[in-house]
Amino acid sequence: MILRLVALALLVAASLTVPLPAGAATGQALTAAQLAQVRPLAFTSTMPERDAVATTLPVTKVRMNAVIAGGYATRALCHPTDLHVSVQVSGFCWDGTDDTTANWFPQGITGSGDGMNGSVLYPPCDGCAGRKIVAVSWRSGASHEYGANRLARVTFVDVTGGTAGAPYRHVVLVEPDGSAEGFHEIATHADGISWYGNKLFVVTGGDPDVSGGDRLIRVFDLTHFWRMNSTTSGNVGCVGGVCSAAYSGFALPQIGYYRLGPPSVCVSLDLARPCFNGVSLDRSGADHLTTVEYKRGASGGKILRWPLDSLTALLKTGSDGLVHPTEGWTSPVWELQGGVFTGGNGILVGLCPDGAPAVSYMPGGTASISGDYRKSCLHRVTISADRGTLDVHYMTTVPANAQNVSYWPASGEVWLVNEFRGDYAGAYGSDRLVLALNCPNLSC
């Protein structure tokens, strides 16, 4: 631990420091006129292409219970959590390979506590009634044979019996396309995910300044997985009767996607064309998806609320057939990665604050960047009574390069995932973790 802190201190000394906001800051609500400028979302279905695959190609439709049985196993927490908050904490490490691989990087987190409704912790889903499941999205890394952001997967972890030794399995995300092969890989950063009813939303905003990304909200049906008949091929699709999904035993086919209308590429901090880098579910009042926007080296990312339709488990359209945001704010947190809200409270994930109060127990005492290393913090949020401002305060440090958060009302848990695999400049090892903080109503 001492060696790790020394190594971190050396990195900070050589790091690029950015002018982050102080420990307390304010985010401003978007006015009705500003919300009207945000381009709405239009839905395109890929259900016909998905259903055609099962009738013409040798894939086997399976349910969730087949996916969560067997596979790999988690380990007990094996790295420092870097938390400085007095709450009960649980969680897990991935197995030895997933803990340090540079082929894949965790991005988003959700689970059965989002699922069906806010009062049921283990919602019944097709084939997995009564199970407590954590779901994490991953993007492919530069060292992957497909290359960076060219492949995406979701890992389903069955933590019903506890977080240590929990079975988990990876499922590759695919897009049915009506071709002879039936489907292809989804090239995306796989930024954030949210489980609502039987649907899984995957936001793929990327950052046009940093990485690729198709800037969509993709939708998947969690009652419809495909079992592959080959796990020895890196191909994605069916060729000559062999159906494979980049060595994975299972694939999850897309049923549709939302895109800004008219079709356009997102632009970070552009009011009309928001990027979607994180997503979470808010069940306080009318159900909403909350999306957050990342901007490298800056604050001001937009936080937007999009209405959900509980009857279809899809986004709710207006009279024009499009989905419009109902509320929004700008974030004072630099390099915003994720955020979650319930009622008047929220938690944002991003760079740590610089200024007063200084985060004195962190090496260097301030928020810093060194190469791909990011010091990450959680920030408490209180929405003003008139919904006009976000009062944002430093909450705690978390493991480096923290990504997204999910809040489960029935258990009061805040789930957090980070991507950092260690080995930056050979200085220290991985601190890749999945954590659950006891934080009822986000008031911890």
For residue 195, what are its two tokens?
């489980």
What gap in Å lies between CA 30 and CA 202, rounded to an integer?
A: 24
Write down the pLDDT at residue 424: 54
Write down the pLDDT at residue 287: 94
3-state secondary structure of 146: coil
> Which residues of the chain carry a pLDDT beneath 50?
1-22, 207-213, 356-357, 360-367
Write down the pLDDT at residue 351: 87
Burial of 371 (0-12, 13-18, 19+ CB in 10 A): exposed
For residue 276, what are its two tokens?
């979607």
Non-local CB neighbours of 403 within 8 Å, separated by 6+ positions: 106, 107, 108, 109, 191, 192, 278, 337, 338, 349, 417, 418, 419
Write down the pLDDT at residue 423: 61
**Exposure class string for 51-70: b at 16+ Cβ within 10 A, else e:** eebbeebebeebebebbbee
Strand positions, DSSP E, 72-149: 72-73, 89-92, 104-111, 133-140
Long-range contacts: 228-232, Cβ < 8 Å, 24+?
A: 228/59, 229/58, 229/59, 229/60
Burial of 262 (0-12, 13-18, 19+ CB in 10 A): exposed
For residue 29, what are its two tokens?
């609500």
102-103-107-110 Cα dihedral, nearest 10 degrees:
-120
Nearest to 347 by CA among 299, 311, 396, 294: 396
List pLDDT tens digits, range 361-400.
444 444 455 666 778 899 999 999 999 999 999 899 899 8
3-state secondary structure of 414: strand
